[in-house]
Amino acid sequence: MRTYLFILTLTFVAATNGQQTAKLFPEPNNITTSVDSSYNINKIVDILLALVKVELNSKDLDRLDLPDFQEDFKKKVGPIRVKGYFKGWSGWTKSLTSLRRTGDAIVNENGGKISLEIPLGFADLQFGYQYQAKLRRVASTSGHVTATVGSNAVRLQATAVLSTTECSASVDSIQLTDLGNIKVKATGLGPLNFLLDKIATWVTKRMHSKIEDAVQNGLKKAIDKAGLKFNCF
């Protein structure tokens, strides 16, 4: 197997608030590693993820707005089924900067093309909404919904194209493949408490594209700003 040398330059400068902020430049302060195992790829991925977090914070993407929505439902009350609706607005999801690698990167080589598949996830992911719910002629409630997502998975696929003179890397796709073990809390539901499980389903289907877009944007920006360079041997 050929060995490829990935060179990533990382410099830290003091920010105005006294904390350190990651800045990357194509200068000699290199972190260099040969890429002939998942272990070495993992180290590079972890560095890039740290940069992604910087990007997400700088663009205020740690917390995202979620779209307003309305869902209709029916509930059996005695011998009849009664119609109702649930409206959600001022929605948000947060803690996207808790993104982390959850397993080893999978590396496949085909000629001068290296494909990477990297399992990721969020250590902490939450969402919330203001809501109004009504079961016609039975109950009408309003309040706040908050929830924690206990399990989640993000699959990142990337490609490195290698030639004898120059190499490049690109993000092919990012997919939020799982949102599960969701614990929902709501104020004011009262007799409509049976909606808790439905609320989790209604909200999560609206979170996928928002989170995928934010992470993909952060990753691409981080790779560009990192000045990720490849020397081919």
Spatial strand order in the sheet of 229-231: 30-35, 4-9, 229-231
Q: What is the pLDDT of residues 69-88, one digit of tens each?
A: 999 999 998 889 999 999 99
Task: State the average pLDDT over residues 152-163.
Answer: 82
The Cα–Cα gap between 210 and 208 comes to: 6
Q: How many CA atoms lie within 13 A of 35 on its CB side?
A: 25
CATH of the domain at 74: 3.15.10.50
Predicted local distance difference test score (pLDDT) of residue 225: 61
Task: State the average pLDDT over residues 139-145.
Answer: 96
Higher pLDDT pick, 2 / 181: 181
In this prediction, residue 164 has a pLDDT band, given cuts at 50, 70 and 90, of low
Look at phi and psi of residue 177 and say left if phi exceeds 0, alpha if psi is from -120 to 50, else beta: alpha
Predicted local distance difference test score (pLDDT) of residue 143: 97
Residues in CB range of 40: below 8 A, 6 or more apart:
33, 34
Task: State the average pLDDT over residues 91-115.
Answer: 88
Predicted local distance difference test score (pLDDT) of residue 60: 85
Among the ranges given (49-63, 95-109, 163-177), the one the predictor scored with the smallest mean pLDDT? 163-177
User: How many domains does the chain contain in total?
Assistant: 1
Percent of the chain with pLDDT over 70: 73
Among the ranges given (33-47, 118-132, 153-167), the one the predictor scored with the smallest mean pLDDT? 33-47
Predicted local distance difference test score (pLDDT) of residue 173: 85
The Cα–Cα gap between 199 and 211 comes to: 18
Residues in CB range of 168: below 8 A, 6 or more apart:
160, 161, 230
The Cα–Cα gap between 44 and 129 comes to: 37
The Cα–Cα gap between 203 and 145 comes to: 10
The Cα–Cα gap between 214 and 211 comes to: 5
Predicted local distance difference test score (pLDDT) of residue 163: 61
Write down the number of H helices and E strands in the chain: 2, 14
Range of the domain at 12: 4-231
CB-based burial label for 225 (10 Å; 0-12, 13-18, 19+): middle
Task: State the average pLDDT over residues 143-154.
Answer: 94
DSSP per-residue string spanning 31-60: EEEEESSHHHHHHHHHHHHHHHHHHHHHTT
Q: What is the pLDDT of residues 47-56, one digit of tens each?
A: 888 888 888 8
